[in-house]
Amino acid sequence: MSISIGLTGWGDHHSLYLTPEERQSKLYTYSAHFPVVEVDSSFYAVQPTTNYQKWVEETPEAFRFVIKATQNLTGHDRKPRTNKEMKQLVEEFKQSIVPVRQANKLKAVLFQFPPWFNLKANNIQKIKKLKEWMGEIPLAIEFRNQTWFTEESREQTITFLQTLGVTHVICDEPQAGEGSVPLVLATTNDHVLIRFHGRNIHGWNNHGQENWREVRFLYRYNEQELMEWVEHIRQLQQQTKDITILFNNNSGGDAADNAKQFIDLLGIQYQGLHPKQMDLFDL
């Protein structure tokens, strides 16, 4: 049974980087604290293969990456595309992450669909095609539209993901209308991915404020909230072999501290991380 706890991205967690050397080599330093990370830069643009090769080399052998699918694959850019165009974009993305796959450091590719990606036939077909085109690459799917998890559709959605063999992403997030999903403690294969977005219900939806993205994930989990999740994790351990947990509540720099607190609450001690004291001559 494996429980891997980490953060979304490694650049903005100021409490981890206290010296000039640590700030200069953030991923190396990050992987002295956590065994997994989510690559967020891949959402905004396909990253050069050289970036992934560098990241592979900067992390220990047991380290793993969750790589976020590019926004033109999830539909966040709202541009219509033909099947041929989409398939080409998938191939470009797949080629970019080859170094991570070759190093056996890929935990999953995360497809986080936008809030307007609701439960309807053409969106179901899109997921099926993406799964087909991605081949054997492990996929995790996160919905942000509650139509997938109504009382009528919840069981069918889980069965659909299970049939495809993709990982269901469990979200801890505010319940703020159609553009949010409820907590669904269900697994669809041997891996489950959990993302902690915080519970800032007043900042979750975009009401035109300039700093919306900064406010959205501004939240610090208290110990009682994390203890509730200790019980959830124990429940999920009965259903699956591999649990990955990513804290995304970093607008105020809380993600790293909450993740470390959760590691302690679960009594986890990781082996195979980078040494905390960095020797720059080894880089």
Q: Please write the tens of the pLDDT for every residue from 166-180.
A: 999 999 999 888 888
pLDDT at 279 over 60: no
- Mean pLDDT value of segment 66-95: 96
Per-residue model confidence as pLDDT tens digits over 82-92: 999 999 999 99
pLDDT of residue 276: 76
Percent of the chain with pLDDT over 90: 85
Beta-carbon contacts of 105 under 8 Å, excluding residues fewer than 6 positions away, are: 56, 59, 63, 64, 65
Beta bridge partners of 38: 8, 66
How far apart are alpha carbons 101 and 103 in whole angstroms?
A: 5
pTM score, whole prediction: 0.94
Per-residue model confidence as pLDDT tens digits over 6-52: 999 999 899 999 999 999 999 999 999 999 999 999 999 999 999 99
Per-residue model confidence as pLDDT tens digits over 136-167: 999 999 999 999 999 999 999 999 999 999 99
pLDDT of residue 213: 64
Mean pLDDT of the chain, nearest integer? 93
Residues in the chain: 283
pLDDT of residue 3: 98
**Longest distance between any two alpha carbons in the chain, whole Å:** 59
pLDDT at 282 over 90: no
pLDDT at 280 over 70: no
